[in-house]
Structure 1
Amino acid sequence: MNIPENKQRLLTQITAALQPVEGVAAVVLGGSYAAGMASDQSDLDIGIYYYADKPFKVDDIKTVVAKYAVSPATVTGFYEWGPWVNGGAWMMTEQGKVDFLYRNIDQVQQTIDKAVQGEWENHYEQQPPYGFSSVIYLAEVSVCQPLYDPAGVLATWKKTVSVYPQPLKETIIRQSLWSADFTLWQAAGFAEKQDVYNTVGCLARAVKNIMAALFAVNERYPLGDKRVMEQLQGAAKVPVGLREKVDAILCTSLGTLPQNVAQLKALHQEVVLLSDGLYKPLYQL
């Protein structure tokens, strides 16, 4: 990790302030710094893990935030806006923006257990632009840097997720490429009618599913939709010119809709070939 000295000091101070908070079971550095994709403008993303039956008090988190925030900050309760992005804090400090993310240890454990069995979820309404995939929890565990983990929870999880589960790979590829396949079928009809609203919705939806399949093909956990192309850098099985192809598919006008759909179909076929036979359509559309 290449963290500027001033931010490293702040990270150390905040970690020390969180450790004695009753109910805080582990603290990690996550986000772009942990993933090695940080820029000068990157936030410090700090994960705060707790057990469901022994959560910390939000007021205690507010006390920690008050020590470092230089302007009014936001501190949320648990699960105020959905089942996956289950709370946190956002503050501006003298060293830049810092985000806290709450993580329920029991929920993360259940998610990892299900993933090993080939089960995953995507909640579209949870956050823009494409929702929250349960696989993000595995990505967070994989890249995070434990700062305080007295029970070794993160160490155990890291060992589990270090090998991408084959059942998860097969499930994501099958479901994602089928969803894209079915969406393509719908998109062609919408494009023929010059229905921009529905065609563009289909294009974005299908591209999202194709990207999910590509991560699974390459046995990588996506850390959300930000910098998705950078996350796939160095992957062995990626269509040549992927970024350009995606840009061409999503840059539309009323007169190009059928062309956009044709480009999407071609990209889908490329990824199907990269799946090495793991994808079979449910029906012949």
Structure 2
Amino acid sequence: MKSDPDEKRIILDAITSAFKDVPGIVAIVLGGSQAAGQAHEKSDLDIGLYYFEKHPFDTESIRRIANSFSIQGLPLVTGFYEWGPWVNGGAWITTAAGKVDLLYRNIDQVQQTITDAANGIWHHNFDQQPPYGFRSVIYLGETQVCKPLFDPENIIRKLKDQVTTYPAKLKQTILSDCLWLAEFTLIQCYAFAAAADTYNTVGCFTRIANYLTHALFAINETYPLGDKRAMRLITAFNRSPFNVEETLSKILGHAGTGAQELMASTDLLKALWMETVALTEGQYQPRFQVDTA
């Protein structure tokens, strides 16, 4: 459904007004592509509803308000953590101005994630969502780009202050984790490719591509917002391998089936990994000798 910016603004204001008086909702933000300046005319409105763990809002209140804005029957509204441990609930609504996604955010969990990141700790839940799961560093990206719509206690502002500077310890952890795991996976990849094992070789390709993506975000001290626009962003980074998107598209889109083709694609991916390692300027040192099988 197409809608103009004025319609989206009107529905955004109306939704904010409706939810701000719900007991337990202490802040409301605009997030996603609209907040990050990456939206197009069909982009959803992503609205975050923030609460403290000890004083959550009543999800039935969310359901009633969501119903009032829906133009296509009863919308999907979940309880807390029905969607998983990170995307911890919300609603999908089709409104007169287009699709609106409500996302619950546990302030205590967001704060702990920011604190962990400052100490070089990040988390990953593969089953949270396709294609690569959820990395906790996304919370920092959400916090940085979101636009407060309702924040009477300056909770969002205080969280934003904490993510202004990319944590040095987080950068080192991500580079170490991702580039080592990419390196280790490359070794397995060559063995699978030599055996013409397409299933396992291509599985390694996508795994390595994701590791390299997160490494490049860390090299450029940028928080990711998810996988949807990751390729577009890393292509625009100041520090990124030459033709990174084209190379990954070639590898993932035309991996091949026989041993010779799979080995050639693995060589391309190894070269991309080596370029990424070089961009760390010594912060990551390879641990193995990655040879063809």
TM, length-normalised to structure 2: 0.94
SS of alignment partner, residue 167 of structure 1:
helix
Give the alignment partner of residue 185 of structure 1, picking from 187, 195, 215: 187
**1:174 alignment counterpart:** 176
**1:47 alignment counterpart:** 48
| Aligned mates of 1:216, 1:23 — CA distance in 2 | 35
**1:125 alignment counterpart:** 127
**2:218 alignment counterpart:** 216
**1:36 alignment counterpart:** 37
Residue 257 of structure 2 is aligned to residue 254 of structure 1: yes
> In the superposition, relative to structure 1, how do residues 268 and 134 fare at CA in structure 2: closer, same or farther (>3 Å)?
same
The answer on whether the counterparts of 2:35 and 2:145 sit within 8 Å (CA) in structure 1 is: yes
Segments of 5+ residues of structure 1 without an aligned counterpart are none
| Aligned mates of 1:184, 1:197 — CA distance in 2 | 15
Question: How far off its partner does 1:33 sit?
Answer: 0.5
SS of alignment partner, residue 232 of structure 1:
helix
**1:4 alignment counterpart:** 5
Give the alignment partner of residue 263 of structure 1, picking from 255, 261, 268: 268
Q: 2:144 is matched by which residue type in structure 1? A: S
**2:116 alignment counterpart:** 114
Give the alignment partner of residue 107 of structure 2, picking from 105, 108, 132: 105
> In the superposition, relative to structure 1, how do residues 166 and 184 fare at CA in structure 2: closer, same or farther (>3 Å)?
same
Q: 2:213 is matched by which residue type in structure 1? A: M
| Aligned mates of 2:141, 2:159 — CA distance in 1 | 11
- For 1:158-173, what aligned pairs fall within 5 Å after superposition? 158-173=160-175
Once the two structures are overlaid, the 10-residue window that deviates more, 102-111 or 78-87, is 78-87
Q: Deviations over 1:47-100 (max 9, x none)?
A: 000000000000000111011101131000011132111000001011100000
> How many residues align structurally?
283
SS of alignment partner, residue 39 of structure 1:
coil
Q: Deviations over 1:214-266 (max 9, x none)?
A: 00000000000001122335421011111101101112220321111001000
Residue 24 of structure 2 is aligned to residue 23 of structure 1: yes
Question: How far off its partner does 1:283 sit?
Answer: 4.5
TM, length-normalised to structure 1: 0.97
Q: 1:119 is matched by which residue type in structure 2? A: I
**1:61 alignment counterpart:** 62
The answer on whether the counterparts of 2:144 and 2:164 sit within 8 Å (CA) in structure 1 is: yes
Residue 282 of structure 2 is aligned to residue 277 of structure 1: yes
The answer on whether the counterparts of 2:235 and 2:244 sit within 8 Å (CA) in structure 1 is: no
Runs of 4+ aligned structure 1 residues displaced above 6 Å come to none
Q: 1:16 is matched by which residue type in structure 2? A: S
Segments of 5+ residues of structure 2 without an aligned counterpart are none
